[in-house]
Amino acid sequence: MSPAPPPPSPSPSRGRIRPWLVVGDLVLAAMWVCAGALVKLAVYGVLGLGGRPEADAAKVALSLIYMFFFAWLEGVTGGASYNPLTVLAGALASPGGPSLYLFTAFVRIPAQVLGSILGVKLIRAALPTVGKGARLSVGVHHGALAEGLATFMVVMVSVTLKKKEMKGFFMKTWISSIWKMSLHILSSDITGGIMNPASAFAWAYARGDHTTFDHLLVYWLAPLQATLLGVWVVTFLIKPKKIKEQ
């Protein structure tokens, strides 16, 4: 019997600390909040579709375009991201160990928060009519449940696509974007459907309510717990492939 082939070596960038991503995180986070604000301004201001059924369709179309653009930027930069939940889920699901998790939690996520704050300041200075971001429109526990469930479902799909190692950029981005947009629309009237603690914090910081209990519970604690649960569920359900002897 011939010996079994050696297991494939892991990708050199997977599970490794890459300090240069901090700059990419900061820039992408700033660009993300600006892009979202510009879409709303274009739909309700330039196109004048406020209160009309066409407004949602226009928002979805424009949002899909910039979501593909940001997915391309993430690939070009080697893994930079605008969302703390994305990098946290990646750190938890990767074999990087405690060092990668600590680097993500205490370096990358603060950089994303800072980038989001700078992005909000920039867009509000350039376009004062852009608004003040999404607000919680229901009770705090209802909002935490809605934001947590939406985040849980997004994280499950994102981590599953990564673990399945789907190589087609278009199909992977299409599935992820449509899923995120669907959950965003469903929860937009409740919490704004943000599913991004850095973006939510930046707009709350601009309004001055970033330290309230409601904000911390709905936009930080609930999504973070949902991310941990989503990664655990996907890791439990999707077992690593066993290498068979030949």
Residue 240 pLDDT class (50, 70, 90 cuts): low
The pLDDT assigned to 41 comes to: 87
For the chain, state the CA radius of gyration: 19
Mean pLDDT of the chain: 85
Tokens 């080697």 belong to which residue?
Answer: 78
**What value does the mean pLDDT take over residues 224-237?**
91
pLDDT surpassing 50 at residue 8: no
pLDDT surpassing 80 at residue 96: no
Cβ neighbours of residue 46 closer than 8 Å, sequence gap 6 or more:
none
Torsion sign over Cα 205, 109, 23, 86 = negative
pLDDT surpassing 60 at residue 11: no
Which of the two residues, 232 and 165, has the higher pLDDT score?
232
> Among 60, 13, 23, which Cα is nearest to 40's?
60
Alpha helices in 42-108 (DSSP H): 54-76, 84-93, 98-103
pLDDT digits (tens, 9 = 90+) for 166-178: 678 888 899 999 9
The pLDDT assigned to 201 comes to: 94
pLDDT digits (tens, 9 = 90+) for 20-72: 899 999 999 999 999 989 988 888 877 777 767 778 888 889 999 999 999 99
How far apart, in whole angstroms, are the C-alpha atoms of residue 38 and residue 62?
A: 10
**What value does the mean pLDDT take over residues 197-206?**
93
How far apart, in whole angstroms, are the C-alpha atoms of residue 110 and residue 217?
A: 18
**Which segment of 39-48, 67-76, 143-152, 186-195 scores lowest on mean pLDDT?**
39-48
> Among 54, 36, 120, 111, which Cα is nearest to 80's?
111
pLDDT surpassing 50 at residue 3: no
pLDDT digits (tens, 9 = 90+) for 112-127: 999 999 999 999 999 8
